[in-house]
Amino acid sequence: MSQILSQSLTHQMRLEQRLTPQLIQSMAILQKPVSELEAYIDEALEKNPALEQEEPQDTRPESADQVPKIPRDGKVDGTREEADRFARLHSFSEDHDLEAADRVSYYGRRHAESDERDAKIDAMANTAGRERGLNEYLLDQWSLVETDEEGNRAGKAIINHLDPDGYLRVRMEEIGANVRPLISVEVLERALRGIQALEPRGVGARDLTECLLLQVDALAGDNRIERTLVEHHIDDIAHNRLPAVAKATGYSVGEINEAVKAMRSSLSVHPGYLVGDRSVPKIRPDVIVEYNEVGKGMSVRLARGNSPRLRVSERLSELAKSKKNGKDTRDFARKHVEDASALIDAVNFRRSRLLDVAQAIVEKQLDFFHIGRQGLKVCRMSDLAVELECDPSTISRTVADKYLQCPRGIYPLRYFFTGGTETGDGQTTSWDSVKVRVRELVEAEDRKHPFSDDQIAGLLKKEGIEISRRTVAKYRQQLDIPAARQRRQF
Q: Return the closest-CA partner of residue 258 out of 223, 234, 289, 232.
A: 223
Is residue 259 within 8 Å of 232, Cβ to Cβ?
no
Within 10 A of 49 (CB to CB), how many other CB atoms are there?
16
Is residue 434 within 8 Å of 465, Cβ to Cβ?
yes
Q: What is the mean pLDDT of residues 117-125?
A: 51
| pLDDT for the residue numbered 378 | 84
In the CATH scheme, what architecture does the domain 420-487 have?
Answer: Orthogonal Bundle (1.10)
Cα 70 from chain centroid (whole Å):
51
φ, ψ for residue 404 (rounded to 5)?
Answer: -115, 130
Q: Is the pLDDT of residue 421 over 80?
A: no
Can you say whether residue 403 is alpha, beta or left, with left for phi > 0 and alpha for psi between -120 and 50 degrees?
beta
Q: What is the pLDDT of residues 16-52, one digit of tens each?
A: 656 677 788 888 888 888 888 889 999 999 998 889 8
| pLDDT for the residue numbered 413 | 92
| pLDDT for the residue numbered 102 | 41
How far apart CA 285 and CA 339 sit, in angstroms, is 28
How far apart CA 366 and CA 363 sit, in angstroms, is 5
Please report, for the chain, the start and end positions of each structural domain, with discontinuous segments joined by +: 134-274, 287-416, 420-487
249 by Cβ neighbours in 10 Å (0-12 / 13-18 / 19+) ranks as: middle
- What's the one-letter identity of residue 125? A
Q: DSSP secondary-structure letter at 373? A: G
Q: What is the mean pLDDT of residues 177-183?
A: 85
What percentage of the chain reaches a pLDDT higher than 70? 78
Confidence of residue 192 (pLDDT cuts 50, 70, 90): very high
Residues 468-482 as b/e (b if ≥16 CB within 10 A, e otherwise) read eeebbbebbeeeebe
Q: What is the pLDDT of residues 301-356, one digit of tens each?
A: 998 877 788 888 888 888 888 877 778 888 888 898 899 999 999 999 999 999 99
SS (H, E, C) 274-328: HCCCCCCCCCCCCEEEEECCCCCCEEEEECCCCCCCEEECHHHHHHHHCCCCCHH
Q: Is the pLDDT of residue 124 over 70?
A: no
* Residue 417: strand, helix, or coil: coil
| pLDDT for the residue numbered 427 | 58
How far apart CA 474 and CA 458 sit, in angstroms, is 16
How far apart CA 195 and CA 145 sit, in angstroms, is 9
Q: What is the pLDDT of residues 60-98, one digit of tens each?
A: 433 333 333 333 333 334 444 444 444 454 454 455 544
Do β-strands 51-53 and 310-312 pair in parallel, antiparallel, or remain unpaired?
Answer: antiparallel
User: pTM higher than 0.75, yes or no?
Assistant: no
